[in-house]
Structures are given as structure tokens and as C-alpha cells.
Structure 1
Amino acid sequence: MIYIYHDYAGTHTTSLAAAYHLKQLPQSERKLTRDEILNVNYFNKLTRKDFGKLLYHGEDEEGNSVYTIGCKRDKLAVPAMKELTLVLKGKFHFNEKIIFSHTSPTVPLPMSFGGFFSRGLKIDFIGVPLLVLGAQQCCDNIYRLVENTKQVGRTSFNEQVITLENKMFK
């Protein structure tokens, strides 16, 4: 199985989701510390040139690959990837289930502003504290989103490509 967490920039909630998925963060709904957040791979480290790139984060305990991607505002990116996957599955007969899980519904306002200041304007002394605050506000939602995503992966037997919008985590 392949898990792909996606959002606007692919560097904040997606990185946290991948870290939870791979058990690189405490497996609970407790608030993360500043150091735990800032030490997550790719967290607040990606730039504009990284939009649209699938980033491999590792393999989970069941041997499933975990990726992230920043899609910007392009609402067609994930449906296009899904369609391409279905074409490739039909042509090359591979049976890997792929789950796209949207992390944007978990983003609180401080994280949006923090990303804008830090990644957009390169003003880290304002952006990073807002990103940390935002991550602390939403880490429990991200943890639950990841647990839900993994559960869907384990229980959806008939579907080969699944897209989760995760609107219940707003």
C-alpha cells in the first residue's frame, strides 16, 4: 500500500502526518513540544520549487510506503494523480492500493499565517512561532486523521485508489 498525504505546501501538516504515520512522533493526542515539531523531516523546510514533488518519508511497520506532496491551490492535482494511477494499474497490472489523504482540513489560522510569513515572506522570527503554535493546536487532529487514514487502508478491500478529503477534522 502507498499512502500520500497532501495539502497546499506539503511542508507542515503533511510532514507531521507522515511523522505520526511512521511513529516518529508520540502516538497520542497530546500536544507536541516545539522541538518535536521543528525536528520533523521537511517541516517548514520546503520551498516553491518543491511544489508538485512526491517526497518519500519511509516505510511504516507494515511495509507501506509513505509520501507527501504540496499541490498548491490546484484542486485537479490529486484527481489527475488518481486517474494516472488507474491507467497505470490497468496497463501494468500492479495491485498496490494507493490512499490520498488531504491534511488541509486540520490547518488552524496561526499555521496559515506562520507559513505565509516563514515560507512566503522569509520572516522566520514571526512565522516559526506561529507555525509551532498552529502545530500544537492541530496535532491531535492530525494524529486522528492519520489513524483514520490507516484504518481506511486496512478495511477498504475493494477500492484500489482511495481519496480522503478528511473534512471531519476541521
Structure 2
Amino acid sequence: MIYIYDDYAGTHSTALAAAYHLKKLPTDRKLTKQEILNIDYFNKLTKDDFGKLFFHGIDDEGNSVYSIGRKRSKLVIPALKELSQLLQENYQNKERIIFSNTSPTVPIAMTMGGLFSRGLHIDIIGVPLLVIGAKQCCNNIIRLVEYTKQIGKSTNKKVIILENKDFKKL
């Protein structure tokens, strides 16, 4: 199975989700500033990285974990779904693929931090806001990752898109 976490920039909530998915972060407490800033790809991607898939690792069940920043495009994930289905149907690709939108977990502090740090290149304001936002959304991201993994185990669909709009009800 392939898990792909997606959001606007692909460098904050998706990086957190991938790290939690791969058990690189503790789930029993809030993260420290250093733990957050040391997450692979966290606040490191640029506008040139939108639309690129980033490999984060293999989980404990042998599944690949990726992330992607889709910007504002509502077409990226449906296009990837269509491509995935084409490859599965016509080229004997047997891997199931789950796209999971992490955007619903993003608090305003993370949004503003991303704007200042990645958009305006003002890290002195952006990075502290990103750390605050990451600490605020950790539990929600943990729940979203667990939900994503649960769906992956409980369905036989070849390609799944989880918008997670109602994730707080999970």
C-alpha cells in the first residue's frame, strides 16, 4: 500500500503526518521545538516543490509513505487518482493508494507561520508560529493518521481519497 499525505504546501502538516505514521515522533506528549524543526521536510520545501511527491519512508507494515503539496489546485489529487487507476488497470500495478488530506488539521498559527516563513521569507516571525501551530495540531494529526491507516486496512478499494473534512468527528 502507498500512503500519500497532501495539503497546500506539503511541508508542515504533511511532514508531521508522515513522521507520526512512521513512528518517528512520540505520541504520548506534546512535541518540543527541536523535535518539530528536525522533522524531515518540515518547513524546508519551496514553491518549486509544489506538485512533487516526497518519500518519507516505509512503515512497520511495509507500506510506503509520501507527501505532496498541491497548492490551491483541486485537480492535483483527482489527476493522481486517475493516473493511479490507469496504472493499476493497464499495467498490473497492484499497490493500493490512499491520499489523505491533512489540511483540516492546520490551525491558524501554522497557516500564518507558513505564510511568513515560506511565503515572505520572514523566519523570525514564521518559525515560532509554525512551532506553536504544530504543537496545537499534534493530537489531531495523530488521530488523522490512525484514521487513514484504519481505512487502508479496512477497504479493498484500489485508490482512496480521504478529504478528512469531518475528521474532528472521527
The TM-score by the shorter chain falls in which range? Answer: over 0.9
Alignment match of 1:169 (pick from 157, 167, 170): 167
Give aligned-pair identity as a percent.
67
RMSD: 0.9
Q: In 2, Cα distance between the equivalents of 1:99 and 1:90?
A: 16
How many correspondences in the alignment? 168
Q: Is 1:7 the equivalent of 2:7?
A: yes
Give SS of 2:40's match: coil
Q: If the length of structure 1 is used for normalisation, what is the TM-score?
A: 0.97
Gap regions ≥5 residues in structure 2: none
Q: Distance in 2 between matches of 1:34 and 1:15?
A: 15
SS at match of 1:167: coil
- Superposed, 1:60-71 pairs within 5 Å as 60-71=59-70
Q: CA deviation at 1:94?
A: 1.8
- Equivalent in the alignment of 2:99: 100
What is aligned with 2:124? 125
C-alpha distance in structure 2 between counterparts of 1:96 and 1:57, whole Å: 17
1:52 and 1:6 map into 2 onto residues whose CA distance is 10
Report the CA distance between 1:27 and its aligned residue: 2.9
Q: Aligned to 2:100, what secondary structure does the other structure show?
A: strand
Q: What's the secondary structure of 1:129's corresponding residue?
A: helix
CA deviation vs aligned residue, 1:39-73 (integer Å, no higher than 9, x gap): 10000000011100000000000010000000000
Matched, 1:20 2:20: yes
CA distance in 2 between counterparts of 1:95 and 1:155 reads 17
Q: Please say if 1:109 is aligned against 2:94.
A: no
Deviation of 1:32 after TM superposition, in Å, equals 1.2
**Which 5+ residue runs of structure 1 have no aligned equivalent?**
none
TM-score (norm 2): 0.97
- The reply to whether residue 40 of structure 1 matches residue 50 of structure 2 is no
Is 1:160 the counterpart of 2:158? The answer is: yes
Give the AA of the match of 2:161.
T
Instruction: State how far apart, in whole Å, the 2-side matches of 1:19 and 1:32 are.
Output: 12
State the alpha-carbon separation in 1 of the partners of residues 166 and 142 from structure 2.
13
Q: Partner of 2:54 in structure 1?
A: 55
Secondary structure of the equivalent of 2:161? Answer: strand
SS in 1 for 2:166: helix
CA distance in 2, matches of 1:134, 1:155: 31
Separation of aligned partners in 2, 1:150 and 1:27: 15
1:168 shift after superposition: 2.2
